Amino acid sequence: MKLYFYAALAALISALSFGVYYYHDKYSDKAKDLEAAERKQQQAETIAGNVIQSMRIFNAIIRANADEKQQIQWRSENAVVYIRKKLSTDECAIWPVSDDVVSKLREHAERIRNVTRRADLR
């Protein structure tokens, strides 16, 4: 009877040992999978953050270009108004253009050339 008891006890301990080993191995695999998933998630978050930062920079550049274009257009319109006002009292076809108008036209043309050079850097 003692022999059956010890045999049953040994079988029970063996079964429990196997169960502990089996489930510990599964737990280790799941822990490794979880760590790998967390690393992938961190990498994805880093990449997404970089993409968002790049888009912010791109949008800032676009906004700055749009503002610069608006400034150029505003200066052009002001130059046109100034020139028309100056020339409205002159007989354009007969008299030469005044020096300050020529100066303004040259400044405006130079400004347009400079902006074009900066924008087209190939």
pLDDT at 52: 96
Q: Given this model, what pLDDT does residue 117 score?
A: 62
- Tell me: the pLDDT tens digits for 55-84? 999 999 999 999 999 999 999 888 888 877
Report the predicted TM-score, pTM, of the whole model to 2 decimal places: 0.48
Spatial separation of the C-alpha atoms in residues 91 and 93, rounded to whole Å = 6
Confidence of residue 118 (pLDDT cuts 50, 70, 90): low
> Which residue, among 121, 104, 23, 108, has the nearest Cα to 73 in the 3D structure?
108
* Percent of the chain scoring above 70 in pLDDT: 86
Looking at residue 57, its pLDDT comes to 96
